[in-house]
């Protein structure tokens, strides 16, 4: 299962860079020149920040709507006061980091509501779980087809 949407391939390239440059799981190092601990929470936030760039409110409002807890609060919120491990995202949004891997992966499923593919969701699931995501890279033939499709949309 390879990614074929150009924006998803961009996200994949950024996640691959993280995997290449990040310290081992649970260790701290520099990412983009800033100290970062390589954890499920930080990997989840990394993906979500990339996906939300340019459309922060819509992205996190959508996730907040579909990740409500039994008490009515959402795992994505601008009110971190009730959270055990609030993790900052963008523009005042927080993610409750005190969640299991299964919960995090279930939250990622809602990215399909933002137009992302099932293949991308599987890739993001593996990335958050610290699994190798190289298998999602398009083949050479697929890359050529993607370029042809892009050029057909906007000829140079």
Q: What is the pLDDT of residues 17-61, one digit of tens each?
A: 999 888 888 888 877 788 889 999 999 999 999 999 999 999 999
CATH of the domain at 130: 1.20.1380.10
Is residue 123 included in any domain, yes or no? Answer: yes
Residue 147 vs residue 127, higher pLDDT: 127
Asked whether residue 119 is assigned to any structural domain, the reply reads: yes
Q: Is residue 86 part of a domain?
A: yes
What's the average model confidence in pLDDT over 100-120? 97
At residue 33, the pLDDT reads 80
Q: Give the count of domains, the chain.
A: 1
In a domain, 90, yes or no: yes
Give residue 100's domain range.
Answer: 6-153
Give the pTM: 0.89
In a domain, 75, yes or no: yes
Look at phi and psi of residue 112 and say left if phi exceeds 0, alpha if psi is from -120 to 50, else beta: alpha
Span 119-132, pLDDT tens digits: 999 999 999 999 99
Does some domain include residue 1?
no
Cβ(43)–Cβ(128) below 8 Å:
yes
Residue 124 lies in a domain: yes
pLDDT at 141: 87
Burial degree of 94 (CB within 10 A; 0-12, 13-18, 19+): buried
Main-chain phi, psi angles of 53, to 5 degrees:
-50, 125
Residue 32 lies in a domain: yes
């Amino acid at each position: 299962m390879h990614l074929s949407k150009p924006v998803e391939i961009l996200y994949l390239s950024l996640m691959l860079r993280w995997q290449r440059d990040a310290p081992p799981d649970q260790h701290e190092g520099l990412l983009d020149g800033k100290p970062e601990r390589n954890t499920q929470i930080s990997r989840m936030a990394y993906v979500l920040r990339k996906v939300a760039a340019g459309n922060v409110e819509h992205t996190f409002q959508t996730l907040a709507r579909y990740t409500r807890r039994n008490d009515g609060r959402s795992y994505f919120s601008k009110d971190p006061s009730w959270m055990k491990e609030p993790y900052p995202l963008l523009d005042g949004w927080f993610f409750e980091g005190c969640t299991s891997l299964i919960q995090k992966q279930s939250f990622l499923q809602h990215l399909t509501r933002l137009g992302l593919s099932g293949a991308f969701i599987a890739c993001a699931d593996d990335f958050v779980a610290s699994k190798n995501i190289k298998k999602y890279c398009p083949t050479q033939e697929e890359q050529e087809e993607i370029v042809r499709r892009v050029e057909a949309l906007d000829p140079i």
